[in-house]
Amino acid sequence: MVANIFLVDRYYIYEQRKILDKIASDIRSVSENNFVNDLERIEEEHAITIVYSEIGGNLDRLNDNIKSEFERKKLKLNKFWITESTLHTLQNNSVNKIYDQGVSKYKVLTKFIKIDHFIIAIALPLPHMEETILIINRLNIFLMTISVLLIVSLVVILSKKITRPLESLKVLSQDIADLKFRKEEINTNDEVGDLAKSINSMSEKLEKAHDEINGQNKRLKKLMSDVSHELKTPLSIVKVYEQGIVDGLDDGTFRDIIEEQIEKMDVLIEKLLFWTELESSAYTKSNFDLGKRMVDIMEKYMLILKENDIDCSLHFDASEEYFVSADKEGIDVVLDNLVTNAIKYSNDKRIDITLTREANGVKLTIANGVGDMEESDLDSIWRPFYVLEKSRSKELSGTGLGLPIIKTILDHHNFDFGFELKNNRLVFFVTFV
């Protein structure tokens, strides 16, 4: 506003002087033959007043002539004069003058040029800029006040729009740090919204990881309990028979029983180590004929099947090919464990092994009778040391780690597998893709 007061008026006069300079240049180029007509044309084009008078006589007469010409053209000047100094300067240069008309509240910017023995005055009325500038300044103050209020309001609204989601995210982050996994719905369609989506996704994944770790911890505690229980029994037997030897009660069989229990513990520990190694083992897939592997494995158990009077039927054409892509050694472990489990728990003395081609691969099913078994028991069937039939003895049920080993291997292959109960028969299935 201060700049308006001191600069606008001067700048306006500066621009008007440039216009008069151009008009003066045009007048100097006017031909003598059409001098009067060309002056009138220039007046109309630029909306200015041009008068001229011959330089001669005294100075007062020259001033009166110029003022009379201005009045004839409807430009009344209360204050106007040409000085000797002006005439002297006109000998070599043009002269610019500003005549303030006082109470009329306007100024006249006049440019004097001399051509031959004539003095030409080019007049351009100027309004008093001070009052106009004061009005503009008052308007600017009003507009600036409104603008400041609007800006402050917008800043407050925008800051709340930004800080509220950030405050919510701060609380959410603290809850996540306190293991209180949840989400915060923030839809701002900007970087804050993207940050909220990322934190929500992180919360969801952390919750899953936390639940998985808790689940693994629970399973580990249960496994440690089961392992301790499994080892406690043979250790107790060894302790009892060892004390019998010390007390001289050995009838010649105590040492054999102790060695048998040690062997059981050794087998159990080996199975546990093998199962642990499976979790981090690298699997090498290759293509092989599953039907041929099944036939080879069954040949190993022919004597056991005959000794236990078990009928095992292979429901597939051994001459056909059933190629699958998997880790061959791992699948051999799976097939071995499935066959031995079927032999141990086949109470109807019949095992049915079937291979069928499907659109997404080869499906293997192994079925055997299990007597009285509930659907609810299937949920626990993969648990380490779980005995399918509670009436079975520990000698027959082995280490109880066969099915967990099977599950670990098949999970690593991402194969679809599981158990079903059909007419008192337990049917295991796995689809090789």
Domains annotated for the chain, with CATH where assigned, are: 2-127 (3.30.450), 282-432 (3.30.565.10)
pTM of the model: 0.50
The pLDDT of residue 225: 65
The mean pLDDT of 238-246, rounded to a whole number, is 82
The pLDDT of residue 378: 74
Dist CA 250 CA 242 (whole Å):
9
Q: What is the pLDDT of residues 335-388, one digit of tens each?
A: 988 898 888 888 888 999 999 998 888 999 999 888 777 776 777 777 777 665
Which runs of consecutive H residues, i.e. helices, occur in 247-289? 254-280
Whether the predicted pLDDT of 29 surpasses 90 = no
Among residues 352, 334, 346, 355, the alpha carbon closest in space to that of 402 is found at: 334
| Cβ-contact 126, 12 below 8 angstroms | yes
Residue 297 or 185, more confident: 297
Whether the predicted pLDDT of 410 surpasses 80 = yes
Whether the predicted pLDDT of 392 surpasses 60 = no
Whether the predicted pLDDT of 4 surpasses 60 = no
The pLDDT of residue 395: 39
The pLDDT of residue 394: 42
Residue 193 or 406, more confident: 406
Q: What is the pLDDT of residues 174-209, one digit of tens each?
A: 888 888 888 887 777 777 778 888 888 888 888 888
Q: What is the pLDDT of residues 88-135, one digit of tens each?
A: 888 888 888 888 777 667 788 888 998 888 888 998 888 766 667 777
Backbone conformation region of residue 306, classed left if phi is above 0, alpha if psi is from -120 to 50, else beta? alpha
* Sign of the Cα pseudo-torsion (35, 40, 43, 49, in order): positive
